[in-house]
Amino acid sequence: MKTIKITDFIPEGIENAISMTKLALIINEDKRTTRKLIHRARLDGEPICSTCESEGGYYMPRSPEEAYPYYRQQQARINSGIAAINAVSDYIKDGTDNDRTV
């Protein structure tokens, strides 16, 4: 994978959010590689946000207030995922075969 500083290509401000398709074209990579670059940058501490509004896309927040909708959206996804696996977790912890039929 090329060394690309993805944040050099992500605009500031939610109103300037860039779609995955456009971002991948600009950096001349496929979408999968572009997602990996974004993920790596986030792990390195870059506050890359995304929105589903309008066309949707990625943006660098100008303020904490502009980052908050992304934070709230991700927190809701995490909570939903945890809730979804609770039954499976309980089943594993119980360790018994409940003779479930499908």
| Tens-digit pLDDT profile for residues 28-52 | 999 999 999 999 999 999 999 999 8
> What is the distance between the alpha carbons of residues 50 and 73, in angstroms, rounded to a whole number?
10
Give pTM, 2 decimals: 0.79
26 near 69, Cβ under 8 Å? no
Has residue 43 been placed in a domain? yes
Has residue 102 been placed in a domain? no
Has residue 98 been placed in a domain? no
Has residue 101 been placed in a domain? no
Has residue 99 been placed in a domain? no
Structural domains of the chain, count:
1
Has residue 26 been placed in a domain? yes
If pLDDT is split at 50, 70 and 90, which confidence band does 70 have?
A: very high
Has residue 83 been placed in a domain? yes
Which domain covers residue 86, as residue numbers? Answer: 6-93
